Amino acid sequence: MLQQKVKELFASQLEQWPMARRNFDDLNSVQVAEVRFDACRMPVTFNAGRIRSTAAKVDKKTIAERRCFLCGENRPAEQEGIEYGRYTILINPFPIFKNHLTIPDSSHTDQMMNAERMGEMLDLAHDLSDWAIFYNGPKCGASAPDHFHFQAGDRGVMPVEEEIKKADKVLYKSDKLTVKTIDNYVRKVVILEGKERDVLTAAVEQVMKAVGEVVVREPEPMVNIITVWDENEWRVAVFPRREHRPSQFFLEDEAAKIVFSPGAVDFGGIMILPRKEDFDRLQVEKETIADMFGQLSFTDEQFAELTDKIAKFSL
């Protein structure tokens, strides 16, 4: 069984790879403070080990000049993996979760979502049902936008997993698919639920197409996606975005600057902050959290345009 193989991989890797073991041990010292909003809760975390990913330069020049850390020939000698179709399942040596996986394509190819990739994401969620599978778009938190990869973290950790179960604003419904959203959620989200792989794959593809019609971005519509297999069906959360990083990230004044470059985990409800000063500030500044997500998410008007398109789906 795949899940058992992955758990055995974790055990052997943490035994044989000292750097990874230290980083996973350091998760025990991550500080957490929970901030509550009307429709959601949001744990704010101080995780110094994530500075490499959060502050990563992802401009074309930097990417072109560095060796790709997801390519097999460039990975640490200690890092082992499990083959899964065209992917390799690896432990993530710079973790957010106690069982954090990175799942790169075995070949070096751009981070771009399509129907085939989405189907494979659903397969992973089904076969690794103890994990939530997530995707960061090339300008939505992926620190390797030149090498396609998913990530996976322990089920039941991201607040979005429970919150989407309670979503009751239906945008589209058929006998094979339900599409919903949550109002007043700090960030915008489209939730898809269903049991049929091909229907969900086509639906997510249509959602992404609609996102790209509302806010035109290259190389693909800006989204983060989280997928779980739960209660004998798939649940997919798609977070439509319009920007990569909030204005606070770029401030030169260190007292005002906030090093926050959110990906799927942050949109899933866990804010990852690699600097203590940002952690101390944001646990008491709810309005700043809302402002940053507001800069990155669709506006109310853009989301209304998107939901109008979803209501006209034919699936």
To the nearest 10°, report the CA torsion of 184, 208, 122, 55.
Answer: -70
pLDDT at 143: 86
Domain tally for the chain? 1
- Long-range CB contacts (< 8 A, 24+ apart) of 5-14? 5/82, 6/82, 6/89, 6/101, 6/128, 7/99, 9/80, 9/81, 9/82, 9/89, 9/91, 10/91, 10/99, 12/80, 13/78, 13/79, 13/80, 13/91, 14/91
Residue 152 inside a domain? The answer is yes
Contact 221, 240 (CB under 8 A): yes
Residue 283 inside a domain? The answer is no
pLDDT at 35: 97
Whole domain around residue 95: which residue ranges? 2-244+297-311
Contact 228, 133 (CB under 8 A): yes
The CA radius of gyration of the chain, in Å to the nearest whole number, is 19
Whole-prediction pTM value? 0.96
Residue 28 inside a domain? The answer is yes
CATH classification of the domain holding 116: 3.30.428.70
Residue 169 inside a domain? The answer is yes
Residue 60 inside a domain? The answer is yes
Per the DSSP assignment, residues forming a β-bridge with 46 are 31, 273
Low-confidence ranges of the chain (pLDDT < 50): none
**Mean pLDDT for all residues in the chain:** 95
The encoded tokens of residue 78 equal 């200690």
pLDDT at 314: 81
Residue 148 inside a domain? The answer is yes
Contact 263, 224 (CB under 8 A): yes
For 27-44, the pLDDT digits (tens) are: 999 999 999 999 999 999
- Distances in whole angstroms, Cα of residue 278 to Cα of each of 25, 51, 237, 272: 23, 12, 27, 10
Per the DSSP assignment, residues forming a β-bridge with 102 are 90, 151
For 196-231, the pLDDT digits (tens) are: 999 999 999 999 999 999 999 999 999 999 999 999
Residue 16 inside a domain? The answer is yes
Residue 84 inside a domain? The answer is yes
